[in-house]
Structure 1
Amino acid sequence: MNSTKNNVPFSIQKMIKNYLKEQHITPTQLARRLSMRPISAHQMLERPTMQVDRLWSICLALDVNIFQAVANELDIEHYHPKVDQLKKEIEAGNQQINALRKELELLTHENNTLKEVIGLLRK
């Protein structure tokens, strides 16, 4: 898949600027959090692209998941064929756990009853 700036329906830089605005953080303050010069932060927010490691740092600095926001912008159904199988296995496991809990409850009750009987027989 070959993606150019013209194909991308949103701007990472605008998204970051919106996060900055929401959190009342200036690009200069972001620069301090990223240990970079203010002019570099301003330039970064104007470039058409951004490296993943820089985006990662911004996520940490702003305490936001920009990667999730980007994923939400994609109009792609993320489906893995094993998901349904895993859900079925989890459900089967949960049913087995519930059955074992009931069995444990019955055995605990039976054990307590036997202890009482043994206690009565010793008297």
Structure 2
Amino acid sequence: VTTEPSRATEPEGFLAWSQRAARVASDKLGRDTVVLDVGEVLAVTDLFVITSGSSARHVRTLVEAIEAEVVAVGGPSPRSVEGRDSYRWVLMDYGPFVVHVFDEERRAYYDLERLWSDRPVVAWKPS
């Protein structure tokens, strides 16, 4: 099921910035990129952007590209970034949206898509 997100459109920029993050991940060959609307069940954020890279170097490239692009289009810098020490699972907290960039092993282990499988998928268009 693909829907428009719940509270994530307030302000509208956050939806666009999360979709931009997904497109950048796709452009940089992030795998199985998805945006989930978790706003109805989480008080701390509205959207998850989830993607994965094939290696620590690829994860780092994805993280740096997403951060640079969101800022370049007028978005904020992340409030915090966790996981830069190993680049196996990097969490970029933008407040209304959170970007999870995994290596393949960590993504399979934590399987956030299964955990949040009842949440709607937000449409984003790969470039």
Same fold per superposition (TM over 0.5): no
TM-score (norm 1): 0.24
TM-score (norm 2): 0.23
Q: Give the structure, 1 or 2, with the largest relative contact order (CA under 8 Å, sep 6 or more).
A: 2
Larger radius of gyration: 1
- Structure with greater strand percent: 2
- Structure with greater helix percent: 1
